[in-house]
A and B are shown apart, each in its own frame.
Chain A
Amino acid sequence: MNHKKKQNLENLLLLFFLIIAILVPLIFGSNQYNILLVTTVLIYGVMATSWNIIGGLAGQVDLASFAYLGLGAFTSGTLLIRFNLTPWIGMILGGLVAVAFALLIGIPLFRFRIKEVWYALTTCALVEILKVVFNMWEEIGGPVERYLPYFSGSPYHMRFGSYVPYYYLILGMLVIALLVNSRIARSKLGFYLKALGEDESAAEVLGVNTRACKLRALVYYSFLIGVTGAIYANIYGFIHPSFFNGQESIKIAILGIVGGRGITYGPLLAALLLVGTQELLRASLGAEVSGLYLVVYSVILILVVLFKPKGIATFFQYRNKKPAKQEVKKKNVI
């Protein structure tokens, strides 16, 4: 009944967020460090929002996000170093390489029905495997950082001499990720994914081709993150095997879960709040005691998960759900 109203409210909130996000460089514009911080938070937002497709809708806890990020970064970076290919094309190619890798891994994984914990652990191991492989693969990776050619203010090389354009690039990725997310959530694929996320065998019995659906979700997810990875490499100006970061990949999944599985803007909200808090704590406490900000951060994380297991985004849905709960109570009394 109030589905449309809810949709409108969500859209309004997102619009509000976008306006603020567009204005951010005007506020912090003078301080490049702050712009970089906000960009970092937004990168986590993009990744968590993309994760929502496979993790939130399809219910597969994928812990390989930084594998796709690294692949995108290495593809675009290597093409730029070796062949002087502009990152604007390298970005798309990076996304495609990430997709190819995702298919290479996803097809056998879903074929052998690896799910739940084992899917999570396999993907977690995947990041570590890629890290070691790129460490040993001297032609492309190797233990030393490879710097991208430095040209100040050359848009062909995605170099601007300021972090503000990168910020808008990442913001653009975020908008694309959010749009893809909400389009999928409202499409046939989205309903199939939700069904198999709840109960895979039941969805299969009802005629959902679970394998194909999960693969499609994986493709969208890996492409978005692969493209982000290419931008990531250009922001920091180098590529290194440490981009394949297992700890951080787990963090992306946590942002998705804490934000609210399957809620389009949930992971973004979690990224803004948690990563924002973390960066703030790091900035304010980090200098004095190392590790203190992580203690505070993890305590917040545990408390949120314990007391809001459906996600922080449900704070905003409380009003919609309250009447339903009261009805149930009345029925019990009668």
Chain B
Amino acid sequence: MEVIIQSLFDGALMGCIYALIALGLSLIFGVMNVVNFAHGNFVMLSMYFSFWVGSLWGIDAVLTPLITFPLLFVIGMLVYYGIIDRTLQEHYTIQIAVTVGLMTFLGAITQLVWKARPRALPYSFIQGSIQFGGYTIALSRLISAAISLIIIIGISFFLSKTWPGRTIRATSDDSDAASLMGVDFRKTYALAFGLGSSLTAISGGLLMTFQQVDPTMGLRFGLLSWCILALAGLGSIPGLLISGLIIGIGESLAMTFWDPRARSLVIYLIFILVLWLRPRGLFGRK
């Protein structure tokens, strides 16, 4: 029983970070309907940036997003104007091809610059653990999950209360109507892509507090965030959070009770079952 609760806790904390990663993808896919296969590699890239900034200037991993967030935002905008903008009118297979090219490019760049070995930062100052009843909770995961939650709530406010956030939602609902109302949809797309990419900077920084990074983890994060998106459906941030928790807990239970190798198996099985049984997602709006 205690083991179950322990792994539920661990999974839920991981799930919050997963939800933050998927939120970025949800912004990109929900707003401009672009199939972004490179999202997982953006997460990997931000983890490497965190490592870089952290080891270069001796900054703690939690604080690295202060620098990597604007960096990733600029990179996202550049990618949008340089590549994605040209493929908006094309068949979706072309978008897949271009983002896969981007994925390969990012993976190769990281391999070139940081070599093919795993990298990790020194212990973060939020390291340690607290005892709670009979359970152990890693402090770094707890704080990371809390930060993720705060960011998700912040983005939710940004989308509902501010003007740029509202243009994103309007364009997501109906880009033709939105542009008739005076929304420059290309700027909105660029904003959404930049924001979606820069959210990975935060999750990358948080992941670096308790994990190492290597050049092969991109595809895993990419598929993971698509799974959460499929589970949640488009347009619901609370739904995204719940789906993140489901995936995180499923993964952690599989690792504790079945086999550590089965973690991705469980996620992909959930993904396929959801697609078969409820293609709109559990909380989908459209």
Query: Which of A124, A126, A295, A299 interacts with B112 by CB under 8 Å?
Result: A295
Query: Chain B residues near A112 (CB, 8 Å)?
Result: 275-277, 279
Q: With A128-B264, A290-B115, A292-B112 given, is the CB distance from A120 to B96 under 8 Å?
A: yes
Q: Which residue of B lies closest to A293 (CB)?
A: B108
A133→B83 contact, CB < 8 A: no
A298→B104 contact, CB < 8 A: yes
- Is the CB of B257 closer than 8 A to any CB of chain A? no
Q: Which of A124, A125, A133, A257 has the most CB of B within 10 A?
A: A125
Query: Chain A residues near B275 (CB, 8 Å)?
Result: 112, 114, 118, 122
B105→A302 contact, CB < 8 A: yes
B104→A132 contact, CB < 8 A: no
Q: With A129-B268, A257-B93 given, is the CB distance from A108 to B276 under 8 Å?
A: yes
Q: What separation, in Å, do the CA atoms of A292 and B279 have in the docked complex? A: 40
B100→A250 contact, CB < 8 A: yes
Fill in one digit per residue for A292-304: 1 if any B CB lies within 8 Å of its CB, else 0.
1011011101100
A128→B105 contact, CB < 8 A: no
B96→A294 contact, CB < 8 A: no
Query: In the assembled complex, how far is the CB of residue B94 from the closest CB belonging to chain A, in whole angstroms?
Result: 5
Query: Which of A128, A254, A261, A291 interacts with B101 by CB under 8 Å?
Result: A254
Q: Which residue of B lies closest to A250 (CB)?
A: B100
A-B contact count (CB 8 A): 127
Query: In the assembled complex, how far is the CB of residue A271 from the closest CB belonging to chain B, in whole angstroms?
Result: 14
Q: What separation, in Å, do the CA atoms of A117 and B97 have in the docked complex? A: 12
Band of interface residues on B: 35 or more
- Is the CB of A116 closer than 8 A to any CB of chain B? yes
Query: Which of A108, A125, A246, A301 interacts with B271 by CB under 8 Å?
Result: A125
A294→B272 contact, CB < 8 A: no
B101→A305 contact, CB < 8 A: yes
Q: What separation, in Å, do the CA atoms of A294 and B112 have in the docked complex? A: 9
Residue count of chain A within 8 Å CB distance of chain B: 46
Query: Chain A residues near B100 (CB, 8 Å)?
Result: 250-251, 253-254, 301
- Is the CB of B129 closer than 8 A to any CB of chain A? no
Query: Chain B residues near A114 (CB, 8 Å)?
Result: 275-276, 279
Please provide the chain B residues from 163 to 200 with a CB less than 8 Å away from any CB of chain A in the complex.
none
Q: What separation, in Å, do the CA atoms of A159 and B86 have in the docked complex? A: 50
B86→A294 contact, CB < 8 A: no
- Is the CB of B98 closer than 8 A to any CB of chain A? yes
- Is the CB of A86 closer than 8 A to any CB of chain B? no
A128→B116 contact, CB < 8 A: no
Please provide the chain A residues from 289 to 327 with a CB less than 8 Å away from any CB of chain B in the complex.
289-292, 294-295, 297-299, 301-302, 305-306, 309
Q: What separation, in Å, do the CA atoms of A253 and B102 have in the docked complex? A: 15
Please provide the chain A residues from 233 to 271 with a CB less than 8 Å away from any CB of chain B in the complex.
246-247, 250-251, 253-254, 257-258, 261
- Is the CB of A183 closer than 8 A to any CB of chain B? no
- Is the CB of A121 closer than 8 A to any CB of chain B? yes
Query: Chain A residues near B98 (CB, 8 Å)?
Result: 302, 305-306
Q: Which of B93, B108, B223, B279 has the most CB of A within 10 A?
A: B93
Query: Chain B residues near A113 (CB, 8 Å)?
Result: 279
Query: In the assembled complex, how far is the CB of residue B233 from the closest CB belonging to chain A, in whole angstroms?
Result: 12
Fill in one digit per residue for B71-104: 1 if any A CB lies within 8 Å of its CB, else 0.
0000000000001001100111110111011101
Query: Which of A126, A257, A258, A299 interacts with B105 by CB under 8 Å?
Result: A299
Query: 10 A-B Cβ contacts within 8 A?
Result: A61-B96, A112-B275, A117-B92, A132-B265, A136-B262, A247-B219, A291-B109, A294-B108, A295-B108, A295-B109
A-to-B contact residues, CB < 8 Å: 55, 59, 61, 108-109, 112-114, 116-118, 120-122, 124-126, 128-129, 132-133, 135-136, 246-247, 250-251, 253-254, 257-258, 261, 289-292, 294-295, 297-299, 301-302, 305-306, 309
| Nearest 4 interchain pairs by C-beta | A294-B108, A291-B111, A291-B112, A298-B105
